[in-house]
Amino acid sequence: MTLTHFAIIAVCAYLLGSLSFAIIVSKVTLGKDIRNYGSGNAGLTNAYRTMGAKKTLFVLLGDIAKGAAAVSVGWALGGPVGKLTAGIFVILGHMFPLYFGFKGGKGVLVGAVMLAFFDWRVFVIAFALFILSVVLTKWISLGSILGAVSFPITTWLFYRDPVLTAMAFGMAAAVVFMHRSNIGRILHGTENKFSFKSKKTIEASPDGEEK
């Protein structure tokens, strides 16, 4: 992968990642910013808890699409390393979106999309850990952390490539860092538990303006 290809992948992936669909959907459909509600996070879990399942479906589809598009560009221009490069920058864009004041989500969903495109075996192991953890504890955050931690481990086991493993470690570390407040609540037993019953705490303003 040439330096030019790296730059193209990085810029395209970051700009795609900056399309925060939780914020977009909340603003377009409700006239409000999801970051002012619930946990204050522009991610899938907070979207479900505060906007309900129907609106969260659009968030899910949008974030999957941007992750898939970014990784596809990375694969076309740089192969496996290009895919991980795209993964790093699409996650950074999701966490620190250029278009929304650099305050976004925690990168779990777009990271999962990247894993699915990178290697289905790596994805299946991470997803299995996520599901098992959530079923046992009902903590989405813990499942996300465990899935992220598994990424560099499985990358090394399957590829034995120090460059790919280092890139995987960097992405995992970023996701864990973004969950640092969740880790504190988990240790104190005060972390919110997942429920299929969304609260829909965001309601549309009559005039479409945020209040």
CA dist 124 and 112 (Å) reads 10
CA dist 32 and 180 (Å) reads 26
Look at residue 204 in the predicted model and tell me its pLDDT.
Answer: 61
CA dist 14 and 20 (Å) reads 11
In a domain, 208, yes or no: no
Domain count within the chain: 1
Domain limits at 175? 3-188
Look at residue 206 in the predicted model and tell me its pLDDT.
Answer: 52
| Burial of 9 from C-beta contacts in 10 A (0-12 / 13-18 / 19+) | buried
Note the pTM of the prediction, 2 decimals. 0.84
| Measured distance between the N- and C-terminal CA atoms of the chain, rounded to whole angstroms | 48
Question: Phi and psi for 183 in degrees, rounded to 5?
Answer: -60, -40
In a domain, 193, yes or no: no
Look at residue 123 in the predicted model and tell me its pLDDT.
Answer: 96
CA dist 10 and 74 (Å) reads 8
The DSSP letter of residue 193 is: P
In a domain, 204, yes or no: no
In a domain, 57, yes or no: yes
In a domain, 38, yes or no: yes
Look at residue 159 in the predicted model and tell me its pLDDT.
Answer: 94
Q: Which amino acid is at 137?
A: T
Look at residue 203 in the predicted model and tell me its pLDDT.
Answer: 65
In a domain, 88, yes or no: yes
Residue ranges of the chain whose pLDDT lies below 50: 207-211
How far, in Å, are 18, 137, 210 from residue 4 at the CA level?
Answer: 21, 45, 42
In a domain, 199, yes or no: no
Look at residue 49 in the predicted model and tell me its pLDDT.
Answer: 86
In a domain, 61, yes or no: yes
